[in-house]
Each structure stands twice: as C-alpha cells, then as structure tokens.
Structure 1
Amino acid sequence: MAYGGLSSLTYTLEQLLKPNQFLICGSCTQHVESFYQSFCVLQVFLEDITKEAKDIETLKVIEGRIRDVIYKAEDKDDSSLRNIILADCEDDQQRACIFFNEELLKVEEDVDSLRKEVMQIEFNNHRNKSAELARTSSSPGKSSIEENMIVGMEDDFNTILDRLTAQTDELTFIPIFGMGGIGKTTLARKVYDDSSIRSRFDKHAWVTISEEYNERQMLLEISSSITGRNQEMSNDQLMEVVYRGLKGRRFLIVIDDIWSADTWDQMQRIFPNDGNKSRILLTTRLKYVADYVSCPDFPPHCKSFLSLEDSWNLFTEKIFQKDPCPALLEEIGKPIVHQCRGLPLSIVVVAGLLGKMDPTHDNWKRVEGNVNSFFGTVSERCQSTLSLSYSYLPQYLRACFSILEVF
C-alpha cells in the first residue's frame, strides 16, 4: 500500500542524509534532501485525507498514483545505491554516483507532477469542508448512538428473559446459537446489563472464550468478576476460588463464543449447582455445541436474521437516530439494506460508513455499488462488508494490518 511504501522509502532517504555517511556525493545529497521533504509531505497528506474518508474512490486513485511514484523511486534508489556500494574503484564509484543523480532527476518530474495533484485535492477538500461548515453551522450535533441497540431483537430478548427468570431451581444452561455477525453477543450483553436481571443474582461474570480456549484466562476473568481482584495462583487454586465464590450464591455467568463441547466439559466443573435458580447463558456459532449444552426443558435459542423492516429500522437508527431518513436517500438506502440480507453486522458496518460521509445521493450510490458486489455465501458478504471498514482506517493502521496479514 502507498503509506507503507512511503514509510519505507522515507526511512531509507533519512539514512542517506545522516551525518558522517559518505555513500553519496554532495550533488546527490541535495536531490535526496528534496525528495525526502516531498515524500514527508505526501505521508502527512495521506494521513490527513483518510481521517474523514468521505470519498473513497478519490482516495484510491491518489493512493495508486503515489504508490506508482514510490515504487519507481524505490527501484531506482535501490539499484543505483547497489552500484555505488559494489564499485571496485573510486572512478567506478564516481560514475555510479553520477548515474544515481541522473536517476533522481528523472523521478523528480514524477514527484513534481504528483505534488501538484496533491495540492489540487487539498484545495478541493478545504473548499468542500467550508461548504459543509456553512450548511451545518446552525444544526445541533448528533449525540452518540447506543452501541447495544437491539432493533429487531425484542422477541429474542423476551424469550431469553423468560428463560432466565423461569421458576426452575436447578442450575440452567441457556445457549444462543447462530452464525457470526447475527447479533448473539449483542443480545447476550443486553440481557446481562438489564437492571431487572442483574438484581435477581448475587454474582455476575462475563467471559469470552473464542475458538482457541485459554483455561487460565477464563479462570482469571471469572475470578476477577467474582472477587473484584486479580489473584496470582495456579489454575487449580483459581478453580477453587471460583467454586467457593459461587457456592451458595445465585449467579449469572455469560460464556460468549464457545466453540466446542470439550471446552464446555472442562468449564462446567467450576459451577456449583445449589438449586437456587442460578443461570449460565452461552453463545455459540455451532448448533451441535448448543444442543450438547442445553437442558431438556430449555432447547437452544436460534438467533435468526432480521426482517427487512427491522433491518431498515436498525440502519436508519444507526445513522439518523430518531430522525427520519430523507426521501431522496430512502430510495437508494433500502436497496443497500436489502443487500445486507438481514445480517446485523453487515447493516451496522455499512451504516457506520455512511454515517461518516456527507448524506448525499452520490455518496450513498457509491456505497451501493460496493454492497451490490457482495454475493456468494453470507460469510463472504460479511467479510466484504468489513473490508470497507479497512478502507476507512487511518493510514498507519492500514499499514499495520497489512503487515499483520503476512503472519
């Protein structure tokens, strides 16, 4: 990507400009200094232009241009420096240095052209920001939107609520299953944070398992929730602390994102069954795990996709809160929502992106063009949706993600 290439190239140029290094001659140093300053300006520009990320297509174009110039400069830089380093005598080194200088001059034309493009884009951005400020200066700012929004989950919420408050005395396990991004964790969190639920239990704990089960981490999280402090102990000692901390008390434990029956077999040993209406709420993507965990009287609860109406309500609440969606945007917004196929994660991500943009027909149309390409399985659509968020990350985080992808 452009930012990563810029970082690498500016670092190389910075090394060439250090005092007491005699790899390049004085005439070359002047051009290297000029390129270094130009590339630093481009680096700052890329950081600034992605902070608001209002026009991703323009960003892609300018990134492509910067990337082309960087690769060309880096290629010439590396090959020319190699010739200088490998020169056998002073005359060869001098010729290699002259060649390096000539190559830098060729790249300088591309850099100047690119700098003009950058200045033009900056000018357009400042002009657009001024126009936006004039339009919105008299409008009150939007308050933050509640993250635990459960639009379309009311029936699920009431079902789980009924199961948690049932008159069954035995320790009861209540699994919620469904594919990733369907809203299992959001539903569980809404239930867990509900004041009427919390008041029914003496002890509460939330632990996230994920695909790779870490027993010690799980024990530390539950122990910390129960005792209010972290404890340096062995796993066996932590198990005893958890068991004793829950013994005789009515507790609610949420085990989020459990992936295997074996994991459940290892975990359930630490939960006492005192016949006092204690409950354990679990979320999982796998039906066989939900079936394995559930009690006969409490079959697994399947978290399903949102209806089109609920999808639209979630979408508009995320962007406009309680305000109605403008009619001009509604006619393009509903096809966008339809493409999300009722998957809350996709809806929230797309709505989050649109919320960062000016609410114009052109901006929404561009997003619709991306969403319309999300065909294939639901998982593929979800992955494509999340890839949009990558495009709106700050440049330094995008570089970080690109490096992590190698691993």
Structure 2
Amino acid sequence: MASAALSSLMYTLEQLFKPNQSFVCPCSTQHLQSLYQNLSALQLFLDNTTTKDIETLKFIEKRIRDVIYKAEDKVDLSLRSIVLADCTENKEGACKFFEEELVQVEKDVDSLRQEVMQNEFNKHGSKSAVTLSSPEKSTIEENSIVGMEDDFNTILDRLTAQTDELPVIPIFGMGEYSERQMLLELVSSITGSKQETSNGELMEIVYRGLKGRRFLIVIDDIWGTEAWDQIQRILPKDNNKSRILLTTQLKYVADYVNNPDFLPHSKSFLSLEDSWNLFTKKIFIKDHCPPLLKEIGKHIVQQCQGLPLSIVVVAGLLVKMDLTHDNWKEVEENLDSFFGMVSERCQSILSLSYNYLPQYLRACFLYIGGFREDREIDVYKLIRPWIAEEFVKARSNKKLEVVAEEYL
C-alpha cells in the first residue's frame, strides 16, 4: 500500500520534529523538512487522484511503495545507529551517517515526486471533457428487485399456503455452512442470548424452544445434504403452519430437501431489459439515462452478462463519478480487460470498486482480510490495529477511535 508506506515514514519524521529530540543533528532539520514536504505532496496526489487509468495508477503506486520502503529502511537504520551509539565519538559518526542517508533519501523522494507529477501532467494536460450536471444521481439503494417478481410471488405463495404441515421451500441459485454457527444463531434467536455449550445441548435447546411454537426459519447457503440432515433432526413437526426457507447454490441439495416439481428456481441471470432497468435505477432516481450515455451504458450492461451483483457494483462505481462519456468509456475499457471467466467476474469487478476507494481507506479495507471469513468482527479489535498501524489520522480534535469508526 503506497498510502500506508507514506503514512508510516511521515509519522517517523513527525516524531523527529518534536522538541528535545537530541539524537537528531541540527544540521539535518532542513533535509527533514524538505523530505516531509515531498512526502506530503505524494500523499496529496494519491488522495486527490481520479482513478481513471487503473493500470497506470497501479504502476505509480508500486513505484511510490518501492521507493518509500527503501527510504524508510535507510532512515530507520541510521536512526538506530544514533540511539545505540555509546560514546560521543560514535554518536558524531552516527549523526554524520544519518545526515548522508537523509540527503540520499531526500534526493530519491524528490526525484520520485517529479516523476509522478510529470506522468500526471502528460496524462491529463491536453485532455478535455464535457460534464453533465447530475442533480438526480442517487446514493445507491440496495433494495431494488428487478426481473424477479415471479420468483418473489412464488416464494410468498409457498410461505402463506394454507397447509398445517412443515414444508421446506428451497431456493436454488447463485450464492459456508457451519453446523455449530447455525446452532448458535438459532439458540440466540430463540433465547435472546448466545450460549457456549456442546452441540448436543444446543440441539436440545433449539428443539425444546421450537416445540409447540409456530416459526419461520431462514437458512442461507446450504452446501450439502449432510447439513440438511443435521438441521431437520432438531425441527419439531407439530403441523402448526411453521415454515422453513433455505437457499443453496447446489441443485441436488434443493432436490434432496423437497420434491423438485415444487421447487421455485431463483433466476441467476437477468434479461438485457431487466439488467438495464436495474442499472439505471441504481444511478438515476427520476431522470432517464442521458442520450449521450445510453449507448455506452448498454454496452457496459451487456458485459455484466445478466449478473445482478456485477450490475449493482458497476452502477455503484459510476454513481460516484461525474456523468461524462469519457468516464464511462474508461470504465467500459477496464471491464473489457478485467472480466475473465464467469466464475471470476464478481471478484474482478469488486476489485474495480476497491480501486476507487480513497487511499486512506484501502489499507483499512485490506486489513480485514486478516480476520476469519464468515465470522463477526469485533469493531474494537479491528480499529485498534488500524490506529496502531497509523492508518487513522487525527481529525478536528476527535478521538482516533471516533475517526476510525467513521472510516469503518
């Protein structure tokens, strides 16, 4: 992370600017200030850059990261030699070595700054664009249902059918099952608290809690018939119009839990018309798509191949940008290069959304990868490492914990 590398080195320099730092030679002050200014300029560039040419930006970020890591190593090692110097003569030599390293680092960073700024000038110096006003651009709403009205009505009919038995309504389509996690969630829903005990005792709590009661249980993303066998053992069949709704990506699982003739198959792909409707709903509230953008917009939608997640994420990307043909054209070209096999499409398009995150949020986002998948993350356990890693910057006299929660 280029931004994180810059923040780390700038933090080190900020400590050296504090009063009574006797181990830093006075003659180094000017070089420290010059270095800090160049680092600030690079940080400002990253914060303000518009991520249109993603490949070029990746190259620039790698250059910044490589140079800054080497610079930080030089600064840290030379400072360490000053701290460990055990006599006046050794300390003077260490200070001289620190100043020499600092001068070289200053030159390297200044050269990098000029390289980055020249690249940005060459890329945008002669470019012009016409911007459409967009007062009706929407903040992304996540509750649109497009092209699935029939599925919705089918599920609703099955849930409200006048039968006393305990039917299972499986939804088969695109999407880890953990027996213990499922039991803990059920127990929490029934008793209002999570209970850490054996699976056998949890199963008994669930059965006793549901016995004689009318319930609706929704189980998401079942990955095997064994999972269903374990679940159905703890569900009482009292013929009281209770219902179970489950989703799975595997057709054989859906067939296993119920008669396949009774199965509502959720559509995995939208028609081109429904895809366009979903796309425009996510970007515009009342207005239609401007004529200037309609053709390229439909081409972007076609590349999403009817995948709702792809359509929603692309729309979320475009809604943050000015409504210009150039912006949409560059997104379209990036989609051409990033889209691979259908199974990789969602991950590829989500990476585009990551590329448009502000620099200061990228390191925070990537840090989440250190936590286990499909598990709740304690906010405190997340933001404290963010602060320790210097990802969170002080803002208008707010506590760092408050700023970190705003980042989250």
- Given the two structures, how large is their TM-score scaled by the length of structure 2? 0.74
Question: Counterparts of 1:13 and 1:145 in 2: how far apart (Å)?
Answer: 40
Question: Counterparts of 2:370 and 2:138 in 1: how far apart (Å)?
Answer: 39
CA shift, 1:391, in A, is 1.0
Give the match's secondary structure for 2:337.
coil
The corresponding residue for 1:25 is 25
CA shift, 1:297, in A, is 5.3
Judge which range, 70-79 or 4-13, deviates more.
Answer: 70-79
Question: Counterparts of 2:356 and 2:18 in 1: how far apart (Å)?
Answer: 35
Give the match's secondary structure for 1:333.
helix
Question: Counterparts of 2:4 and 2:323 in 1: how far apart (Å)?
Answer: 31
The answer for unaligned runs of 5 or more in structure 2 is: 125-129, 372-408
Aligned AA (1:11): Y
> 263, 270, 274: which one pairs with 1:299?
263
Aligned AA (2:212): G
Q: How far does the alpha carbon of each residue in 1:358-387 deviate from its partner, in whole angstroms, 9 at most, with x for none? A: 010000001001111244321212111010
CA 1:96/1:330 → structure 2, altered by over 3 Å: closer, same or farther? same
Question: Counterparts of 2:353 and 2:110 in 1: how far apart (Å)?
Answer: 32
Aligned AA (1:291): D
Question: Counterparts of 1:311 and 1:231 in 2: how far apart (Å)?
Answer: 41
CA shift, 1:168, in A, is 4.0
Give the match's secondary structure for 2:219.
strand
1:213 equivalent in alignment to 2:178: yes
Alignment of 1:327-346 (within 5 A): 327-346=291-310
1:7 equivalent in alignment to 2:13: no
User: Do the aligned residues in 1 keep the contact of 2:310 with 2:346 (CA within 8 Å)?
Assistant: yes
CA 1:144/1:392 → structure 2, altered by over 3 Å: closer, same or farther? closer
Question: Counterparts of 1:219 and 1:72 in 2: how far apart (Å)?
Answer: 50
Q: How far does the alpha carbon of each residue in 1:16-40 deviate from its partner, in whole angstroms, 9 at most, with x for none? A: 4566655442222442344346535
Question: Counterparts of 1:296 and 1:375 in 2: how far apart (Å)?
Answer: 34
CA 1:151/1:302 → structure 2, altered by over 3 Å: closer, same or farther? closer
Alignment of 1:26-41 (within 5 A): 26-36=26-36, 38-40=38-40
CA 1:265/1:22 → structure 2, altered by over 3 Å: closer, same or farther? farther
Question: Counterparts of 1:273 and 1:311 in 2: how far apart (Å)?
Answer: 41
Question: Counterparts of 1:88 and 1:231 in 2: how far apart (Å)?
Answer: 57
CA shift, 1:153, in A, is 1.1
Judge which range, 108-117 or 371-380, deviates more.
Answer: 108-117
CA 1:391/1:214 → structure 2, altered by over 3 Å: closer, same or farther? farther
The corresponding residue for 1:163 is 158
> 315, 331, 337: which one pairs with 1:367?
331
> 51, 60, 67: which one pairs with 2:65?
67
Give the match's secondary structure for 1:265.
helix
The corresponding residue for 1:152 is 147
Aligned AA (2:5): G
- Given the two structures, how large is their TM-score scaled by the length of structure 1? 0.74
CA shift, 1:356, in A, is 0.5
- Percent identity, aligned pairs only? 70
CA shift, 1:334, in A, is 1.1
The corresponding residue for 1:263 is 227
Question: Counterparts of 1:390 and 1:18 in 2: how far apart (Å)?
Answer: 36
The corresponding residue for 1:192 is none
The answer for unaligned runs of 5 or more in structure 1 is: 126-130, 181-210
Give the match's secondary structure for 1:301.
coil
Q: How far does the alpha carbon of each residue in 1:56-100 deviate from its partner, in whole angstroms, 9 at most, with x for none? A: 658657645643552452244245446657879755653453343
The corresponding residue for 1:385 is 349
The corresponding residue for 1:179 is 174
Q: CA RMSD in A?
A: 3.8
CA 1:343/1:33 → structure 2, altered by over 3 Å: closer, same or farther? same
Question: Counterparts of 1:104 and 1:81 in 2: how far apart (Å)?
Answer: 10
> 103, 106, 109: which one pairs with 1:105?
103
> 207, 227, 230: which one pairs with 2:193?
230
Question: Counterparts of 1:213 and 1:300 in 2: how far apart (Å)?
Answer: 25
Aligned AA (2:48): I
The corresponding residue for 1:358 is 322
1:397 equivalent in alignment to 2:361: yes
The corresponding residue for 2:396 is none
> How many residue pairs are counted as aligned between the two chains?
363
The corresponding residue for 1:246 is 210
Judge which range, 312-321 or 167-176, deviates more.
Answer: 167-176
Give the match's secondary structure for 1:356.
coil
User: Do the aligned residues in 2 keep the contact of 1:374 with 1:384 (CA within 8 Å)?
Assistant: yes
User: Do the aligned residues in 2 keep the contact of 1:178 with 1:304 (CA within 8 Å)?
Assistant: yes
